[in-house]
A = this chain, B = another copy of it.
């Protein structure tokens, strides 16, 4: 890339915007040589910037509108072309920025990113990935909230996004993935999960297994795939536990581990310390063509700074271009999609009731 890296930040997104976002950008700019482009209401941003010590690596781009947390994705997309989110995404799409970071309305970010940047070929939907501390190395949870309802094809494709992310970002060449379910028996769980398992059985040889939530962080898999509502709920519950644990261990004088310690596979009793000391970072939106990170709506300056630095890291490791060129990923996405289409065309009511062996004689018996 010519010139320095540019991270476009939706300065109006999030509960504490724009003040916390500006302070976060200032904190980040002290720790990276990437340029930061704050997109939002020019006047308010300059006011925030002058009240802080200014950094020459921070630019401001005016966008008069804001997407509220209550706006829903497609509506925000159509109506708010002058919003900070839209303008930031536009910069990324034109190539004048290398990544977008936003702590705004995630439905709007997902819709705007999909629309502006496009998806990896064959993919139906992007998914949010969150790295969670486990008894061993971090595990990826996806979808952590890009969408609040998922069908079998979305779950099945997310498995391959997770594999590709773990390969290219975490250096795990053969990651193991589980599907989150509330039992390990094949009949458990909603139809979307059973359908995803059947789709995967057709297009993917290594058998996937179900991972139950109480073993989620035991480190038995590298990644766990679930519906975005469930994933977001679990991540938020862990955030609540983390807050409580911080207070609890604080009163007990528990040692706070450094974030780097989480690669050393500490024993189970250290997990809670790590959960308490670690902040669940900004979530990369997997499956769009360029680097987009969604930070927590409640992000304060430190979280925004970390999200910007995470974005710098993903751009530097070329995660998004590598995922887009990942032949296995493209092949699997296409295979899942074609199986799914074939099932739909077979005229049956639901993919979970189908068998590819004799689709014509399958009268919808119990799976």
In chain A, residues 343-357, which have Cβ atoms closer than 8 Å to a Cβ of chain B? none
Q: Which chain B positions have C-beta within 8 A of A268?
A: 244, 247-248
A198 contacts partner chain B, Cβ-Cβ < 8 Å: no
A residues near B (Cβ < 8 Å) are: 69-72, 75, 107, 145, 148-149, 180, 182-183, 185-191, 212-218, 229-230, 232-234, 236-241, 243-245, 247-252, 254, 268-273, 297, 366
A14 to chain B, nearest CB (A): 13
A256 to chain B, nearest CB (A): 13
In the complex, are the beta carbons of A214 and B236 less than 8 A apart? yes
A145 to chain B, nearest CB (A): 6
Given contacts A182-B232, A268-B247, contact A148 B188 (CB under 8 A): yes
Q: Which chain B positions have C-beta within 8 A of A251?
A: 269
* Nearest-neighbor residue (CB-CB) of A237 within chain B: B213
In the complex, are the beta carbons of B241 and A241 less than 8 A apart? yes
Q: In the bound complex, how far is the Cα of B72 from the Cα of A231, in angstroms? A: 25
A74 to chain B, nearest CB (A): 8
Supply 19 A–B pairs (Cβ within 8 Å), ascending by A: A71-B187, A75-B366, A107-B187, A148-B182, A149-B191, A182-B232, A182-B233, A213-B236, A217-B240, A229-B230, A233-B234, A234-B234, A234-B237, A244-B268, A244-B269, A244-B271, A248-B268, A249-B252, A251-B269
Within the oligomer, what is the number of copies of this chain? 2
In the complex, are the beta carbons of B69 and A229 less than 8 A apart? no
In the complex, are the beta carbons of A69 and B237 less than 8 A apart? no
In the complex, are the beta carbons of A183 and B69 less than 8 A apart? yes
Q: In the bound complex, how far is the Cα of B180 from the Cα of A185, in angstroms? A: 27
Query: CB within 8 A of A216: which of B71, B149, B240?
Result: B240
In the complex, are the beta carbons of A185 and B234 less than 8 A apart? no
Q: Which chain B positions have C-beta within 8 A of A188?
A: 148
A334 to chain B, nearest CB (A): 28
In the complex, are the beta carbons of B189 and A229 less than 8 A apart? yes
Q: Which chain B positions have C-beta within 8 A of A217?
A: 240, 244
Given contacts A72-B366, A149-B191, contact A236 B212 (CB under 8 A): yes
Q: In the bound complex, how far is the Cα of B272 from the Cα of A190, in angstroms? A: 31
Q: Which chain B positions have C-beta within 8 A of A215?
A: 240
Query: CB within 8 A of A145: which of B182, B186, B252, B269?
Result: B182
Q: In the bound complex, how far is the Cα of B236 from the Cα of A310, in angstroms? A: 31
Q: Which chain B positions have C-beta within 8 A of A252?
A: 249, 252, 254
In the complex, are the beta carbons of B273 and A185 less than 8 A apart? no
Q: Which chain B positions have C-beta within 8 A of A270?
A: 248
Q: In the bound complex, how far is the Cα of B28 from the Cα of A319, in angstroms? A: 57
Q: Which chain B positions have C-beta within 8 A of A145?
A: 182
In the complex, are the beta carbons of A229 and B185 less than 8 A apart? no
A269 to chain B, nearest CB (A): 4
Q: In the bound complex, how far is the Cα of B71 from the Cα of A297, in angstroms? A: 42
Q: In the bound complex, how far is the Cα of B50 from the Cα of A217, in angstroms? A: 41
Q: Which chain B positions have C-beta within 8 A of A238?
A: 237, 241
Q: In the bound complex, how far is the Cα of B217 from the Cα of A243, in angstroms? A: 11
